Amino acid sequence: MDHQIRIHNSPVSKGTAVTASEEFRVDLHVKVLTDRVVERAIAAGLDAIVYAPHFTRLPEIRARAERYSSDELLVIPAREVFTGSWRERKHVLAIGLADRVPDFISLEAAMAEFERQDAAVLAPHPEFLNVSLTESDLRHYRDTVDAVEIYNPKHLPSHNRRAREIAKLFEYPPFTSSYAHLPGTVGVSYTAFDADLGIDSADDLVTALREGAARRVIYDTGFTRWKTTARELGHLCWENSWEKVDRLFLQGIEATHPHHIAYDGKFDDVSVY
């Protein structure tokens, strides 16, 4: 039988613990958005999803999120920015951006831009492979990062244990997400906030995250979890083989590369290549 893990509050969360009957449920990191995704999210009892696809500029993300939002499901646009070079990437999730931020700029430049825009800054999959913020990064940016992901269904148990250790060490508010690259993964993990917060928009969610609002972190640990992990890891292998070759060598410059014409040279001085 599958089980749900409920972590009511982080050490710095405000207010009282959230109860299951009075909550706003959000999958805080989804890579895909289709009719099937929306159906899956609603069936899972979610109130919102955060849509942050790879290598896609903010205006396109916003337009797609708006098209799929409804009274039943709020779709919130966001960017998982790939800072650093291909050899040492640091993925950072920013919710509530007003202006475009490209990939492949320095971590310092990205964090400064997130702060300037008053975005909520989340650390997905900490210390996972070579694509994540490290313990040292999270110590350095304690005043910038608003939450640390303590469970990711793509991770092995050791990765999730390490993520929980880091969040506890620096007293970061926790979060989880499905990190869904496949529609069927949406909603397998989610974060629940007190419904009394009145989260009705992206701005409301940004406020809840930045203020460390009370939350529950909910995810499965049974057989369903392992099926999800296997499917998502299989997709990860594909994503880092043929899809990457197609994107890098057949399609030309990345749409979110800082030298792309869309950024008007604004980030050329902080581009890492």
DSSP codes, 57-107: -HHHHHHHHHHH--SS-EEEEEEEEEES-SSS-EEEEEES-SS---SSB-H
User: Half-sphere exposure (CA, 13 Å, Cβ side) for 195?
Assistant: 7
Tokens of 194: 């007190």
Contact 255, 55 (CB under 8 A): yes
pTM, two decimals, is: 0.87
pLDDT averaged over the chain? Answer: 86
Tokens of 97: 């951006």
- Given phi > 0 = left and psi -120 to 50 = alpha, else beta, which region is 178? alpha
Q: Is the pLDDT of residue 108 over 90?
A: yes
Phi/psi of residue 76, nearest 5 degrees? -105, 125
The neighbour count for residue 121, using CB atoms within 10 Å, is 24
What is the average pLDDT across 226-230?
Answer: 61
Q: Is the pLDDT of residue 11 over 70?
A: no
User: Which residue from 215, 201, 247, 87 is spatially nearest to 148, judged by alpha carbons?
Assistant: 215
Q: Is the pLDDT of residue 259 over 80?
A: yes
Q: Is the pLDDT of residue 44 over 80?
A: yes
From the CA atom positions of the chain, what is the Rg in Å? 17
Q: What percent of the chain has pLDDT over 90?
A: 70
What is the average pLDDT across 256-272?
Answer: 93
Contact 212, 172 (CB under 8 A): no
* Amino acid 248: pLDDT: 46
Work out the pLDDT band at 130, boundaries 50, 70, 90.
confident
The neighbour count for residue 211, using CB atoms within 10 Å, is 16
The H-assigned helical ranges of 151-214 are 157-169, 202-210
* Amino acid 224: pLDDT: 65
* Amino acid 241: pLDDT: 47
Q: Between 58-68 and 35-43, two packed helices, what is the crossing angle to 10 degrees?
A: 60
Tokens of 6: 């409920």
Contact 30, 52 (CB under 8 A): yes
* Amino acid 3: pLDDT: 38
